[in-house]
């Protein structure tokens, strides 16, 4: 008979497989748990690696983006420096010179950026240049017009104005006779000088188109500046600021909202004029009995032929004593900036507007050639003003001489003598560029500043005059000297000479 055994049920007994089944299940659970643990650890490692990689990429992207923004700020400063130098240096057509300066400066920036592994390109936006006029009196005197009027219109319909500065002398400055707490203390004093910014365009002012009146006066040994707003119904006091003179002068810097270096933030109303406006001097007195003396300067966004009627301003080339004159200027422009750091690419349009930038030129700084044009409220004095703080500026280049000599066989030697003013020792590059009469770049030479820190002489030798494709020797050849500092800021000077037949 067959041997039959029961292997199921709960009876236990010999041959019961329950212990082995439990052990198998336990081992299976253990193996599964270990597998899950390994899997979780692997997932954690992968997640941490991904997070680290993302953080690293984010930091790299952020660093590249920060560098791009830093480059943008440097480019803006450099372009403002090029425009400012163009407006003060002795040039011919300023728009052309400025555009050449941008092109040359862009070349320098490209080389400078390449040393850091980035590609930077700056290009002037064609048609973006706004022709302007610089209105100035840079020899101390009364604030009368060229024909002697103490009440006169500097510009009848300014499309825009910027960099308004007055370097006021305490000599002959009319004194405040009342406590100055009321608007009438200023408006009612017929001998207190004021500058009028008239948004109403010569008609009665209104709340929408008010008239702004900036009064300059002496107040207990200090120089005061008070701003009133006239809406046609009443005058309200918007600002009242005073400053102690330095060397007998106080610089009233409307653009930077400073009076003698002290903050006067309410002056920002004069920097935010969006409508066309008229600018007038009133109550300046006469040349013999002035109510105010000093120097001043402002830029307007209108061509010089639209501003100067031939009576209010002297000709720039024949200024007599302390008289105002009008000269052409570049008011503003735009440039495109392209930045490429491999993984990060940045493109933008940069508005070139010197408003608010410190500068070493003009009223409150040094003029080309070293003349001091005022600037009380800081710095040592000089012949006609109180000196001043020139701020951060690009090194200044000057072409001291440019001559040409025939070398035979349609070849010429062009000799350029140059100098550089580098007050803070930041000069890193000097480039000399020769252009033919057609505007083509013929030759370029780079000089190491360490070997020629202050200037020198260089000869473009054996320059061939081409018979075809332009470059005929008829006309003026031009040389440009471009100096650049370690921040990429640059300035350019140029001169022209005619090659002999």
CATH number at residue 492: 2.60.40.10
Same domain, 319 and 184: yes
* 275 shares a domain with 149: yes
Closest of 207, 247, 242 to residue 222, by C-alpha: 242
Q: What is the pLDDT of residue 488?
A: 56
Among the candidates 302, 323, 344, a domain finishes at 323
* Number of domains present in the structure of the chain: 2
Q: How far is residue 394's CA from residue 484's CA, in Å, rounded to a whole number?
A: 7
DSSP 364: T
Give the span between the Cα atoms of 411 and 434, in whole angstroms: 14
294 in Cβ contact with 246 (< 8 Å): no
For residue 492, the enclosing domain spans 396-498
Query: Residue 389: what pLDDT?
Result: 36
Q: Are residues 319 and 404 in the same domain?
A: no
Domain membership of residue 373 (yes or no) is no
Helices and strands, number each (H, E), in the chain: 4, 22
381 exposure class (CB count in 10 Å sphere: 0-12, 13-18, 19+): middle
Please give the pLDDT value at position 11.
47
Within a domain: 467: yes
273, 272, 253, 271: which is closest to 262 by C-alpha? 253
CA dist list (Å): 195 to 3, 122, 282, 362, 394: 127, 39, 6, 19, 32
How, if at all, do strands 161-169 and 293-300 pair? antiparallel
CATH number of the domain within which 285 lies: 2.60.120
DSSP SS3 for 169: strand
Instruction: Give the pLDDT score at 41.
Output: 78
Can you give the length of the chain in residues?
501
Among 323, 340, 360, the domain boundary falls at: 323
Q: Residue with structure tokens 């930045």?
A: 339
Distance between CA 162 and CA 177 in Å, rounded?
A: 31
Same domain assignment for residues 168 and 309? yes
Q: Does the residue 488 lie in any domain?
A: yes
41 located within any domain: no
CA–CA separation, 165 and 270 (whole Å):
12
439 and 456 Cβ atoms separated by less than 8 Å: no
Per-residue pLDDT of the chain (501 residues; tens, 9 = 90+): 455 454 444 444 444 555 656 666 777 777 787 888 878 777 877 777 766 665 545 444 555 567 777 888 888 888 888 888 888 876 668 888 888 888 887 887 888 778 778 888 999 999 999 999 999 998 899 999 999 999 999 999 999 999 999 999 999 999 999 999 999 999 999 999 999 999 877 678 888 889 999 999 999 999 999 999 999 999 999 999 999 999 999 999 998 899 998 899 889 899 888 778 999 999 999 999 999 999 999 999 999 999 988 889 987 766 666 689 999 999 999 999 998 888 888 899 999 988 867 655 566 554 333 332 333 333 333 333 333 333 345 567 777 888 888 876 678 889 998 888 776 677 777 888 888 887 788 888 888 766 666 788 899 988 887 654 455 556 788 888 888 776 556 677 778 888 776
- Whether 44 maps to a domain, the answer reads no
Q: How many CB atoms lie within 10 A of CB 175?
A: 14
- Is 211 a domain residue? yes
Of 298, 323, 348, the residue at which a domain comes to its end is: 323
Whole-angstrom Cα distance, residue 418 to residue 429? 13
Please check whether residues 187 and 298 belong to one and the same domain. Answer: yes
Question: 455-464 and 411-421: which strand pairing?
Answer: antiparallel
Residue 212 pLDDT: 94
Place of tokens 């505007």: 439
Residues 315 and 416 in one domain: no
Instruction: Tell whether 418 is covered by a domain.
Output: yes
One domain for residues 205 and 319? yes
Confidence at residue 288, expressed as pLDDT on a 0 to 100 scale: 93
Residue 204: inside a domain, yes or no?
Answer: yes
Domain match, 170 and 315 both: yes
Q: In what order do the strands lie in the sheet with 441-447?
A: 441-447, 427-435, 476-485, 490-498
């Amino acid at each position: 008979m067959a041997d039959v055994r029961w292997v199921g049920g709960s009876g236990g007994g010999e041959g019961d497989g329950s212990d082995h089944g439990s052990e198998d299940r336990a081992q299976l659970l253990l193996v599964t748990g270990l597998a899950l643990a390994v899997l979780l650890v692997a997932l954690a490692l992968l997640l941490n690696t991904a997070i680290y990689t993302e953080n690293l990429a984010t930091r790299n992207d952020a660093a590249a983006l920060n560098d791009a923004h830093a480059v943008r700020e440097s480019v803006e400063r450099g372009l403002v420096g090029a425009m400012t130098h163009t407006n003060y240096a002795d040039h011919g057509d300023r728009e052309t010179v400025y555009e050449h300066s941008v092109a040359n400066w862009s070349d320098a920036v490209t080389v400078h950026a390449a040393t850091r592994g980035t590609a930077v390109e700056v290009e002037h936006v064609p048609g973006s240049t706004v022709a302007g006029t610089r209105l100035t009196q840079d020899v101390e005197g009364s604030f009368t017009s060229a024909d002697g009027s103490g009440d006169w219109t500097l510009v009848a319909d300014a499309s825009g104005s910027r960099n308004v500065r007055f370097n006021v002398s305490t000599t002959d400055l009319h004194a405040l006779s009342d406590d100055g707490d009321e608007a009438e203390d200023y408006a009612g004093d017929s001998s207190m000088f004021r500058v009028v910014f008239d948004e109403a365009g010569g008609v009665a002012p209104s709340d929408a188109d008010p008239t702004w009146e900036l009064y300059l006066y002496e107040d207990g040994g200090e120089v005061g500046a008070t701003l009133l707003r006239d809406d046609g119904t009443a005058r309200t006091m918007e600002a009242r600021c005073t400053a102690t003179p330095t060397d007998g002068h106080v610089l009233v810097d409307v653009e930077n909202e400073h009076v003698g270096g002290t903050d006067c933030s309410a002056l920002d109303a004069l920097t935010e004029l969006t409508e066309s406006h008229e600018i007038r001097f009133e109550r300046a007195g006469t040349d013999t009995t002035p109510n105010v003396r000093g120097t001043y300067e402002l830029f307007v966004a209108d061509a010089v032929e639209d501003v100067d009627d031939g009576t209010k301003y002297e000709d720039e080339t024949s200024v007599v004593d302390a008289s105002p004159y009008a000269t052409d200027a570049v008011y503003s422009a735009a440039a495109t900036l392209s930045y490429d750091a491999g993984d990060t690419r940045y493109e933008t349009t940069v508005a070139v507007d010197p408003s608010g930038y410190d500068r070493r030129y003009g009223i409150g700084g040094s003029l080309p050639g070293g003349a001091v044009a005022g600037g009380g409220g800081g710095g040592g004095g000089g012949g006609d003003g109180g000196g001043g703080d020139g701020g951060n500026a690009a090194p200044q280049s000057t072409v001291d001489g440019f001559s040409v000599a025939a070398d035979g066989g349609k070849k010429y030697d062009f000799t350029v003598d140059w100098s550089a003013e580098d007050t803070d020792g930041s000069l890193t590059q000097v480039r000399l560029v020769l252009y033919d009469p057609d505007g083509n770049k013929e030759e370029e030479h780079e000089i190491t500043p360490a070997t020629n820190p202050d200037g020198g002489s260089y000869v473009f030798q054996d320059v061939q005059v081409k018979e075809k494709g332009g470059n005929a020797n008829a006309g003026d050849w031009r040389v440009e000297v471009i100096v650049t500092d370690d921040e990429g800021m640059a300035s350019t000077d140029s001169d022209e000479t005619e090659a002999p037949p």
